[in-house]
Amino acid sequence: MSCPKCQHENREEARFCEACGSNLELLCPACGHQLRPGAAFCDQCGTSLTAQPSVSQTPDSRPQTLDPRLTSAERRQLTVMFCDLVGSTALSQQLDPEELREVVRAYQETCAAIIARFEGHLAKYLGDGLLVYFGYPVAHEDDAQRAVRAGLGILAELPQLNSRMHPILKVTTPLEARRVFAAFALCRMLLV
């Protein structure tokens, strides 16, 4: 099995690349179902795997609804995840500002790629943290599960990120799921 990140040839039974440590299990970006190598479509939900947007694209941040007749507001379940580096204040005292900026940038890029894979909306960069919405602007039946999978995906990528970076990074990814009233005309989130 060839690693999608470094192209190293691994044993067929391998779950992680022996060269770079990347996860070799292929997961459907829509439902998280494990896929066979070379699959063009997910055999669980039918999602096309060949027409996936590239990671470098940013998710569409324009307000969208599932029902085009609802133009002003709708009630929906929203899951919020905040990804934060643990001990970043101590880290900022150990590293030069340029090194710290590079570490935080690599961490945020890694997180953003995983969040995009699970169709989360990266709402805001807050220092070394990221505020992420699942269920806004586009809702899915399994947004809470997508948020958990994204959080676990971020934690799973840390060893690879730590192998490239000098400091050892730790992350917290608390989640909160609530019903909200999303007023798209004002683009505000009000907890109900």
Quote the percentage of the chain above a pLDDT of 70: 73
How far apart are alpha carbons 62 and 90 in whole angstroms?
37
Q: Give the distance, in angstroms, between the CA of residue 99 and the centroid of all CA atoms in the same chain.
A: 24
Taken in order of first residue, the domains within the chain and their CATH numbers are 1-52 (no CATH), 55-191 (3.30.70.1230)
Q: Which residue has the higher pLDDT, 113 or 31?
A: 113
Q: How many CB atoms lie within 10 A of CB 62?
A: 8
Q: What is the pLDDT of residues 43-88, one digit of tens each?
A: 888 888 776 444 444 444 444 555 555 456 677 788 888 888 888 8
pTM of the model: 0.53
Name 155's Cβ contacts closer than 8 Å, sequence gap at least 6. Answer: 171, 173
Helix 97-117 vs helix 143-164: crossing angle, to nearest 10: 140
Mean pLDDT of the chain: 75
CA distance linking residue 166 with residue 161, whole number of Å = 9
What is the reported pLDDT for 55? 42
128 exposure class (CB count in 10 Å sphere: 0-12, 13-18, 19+): buried
pLDDT at 117: 93
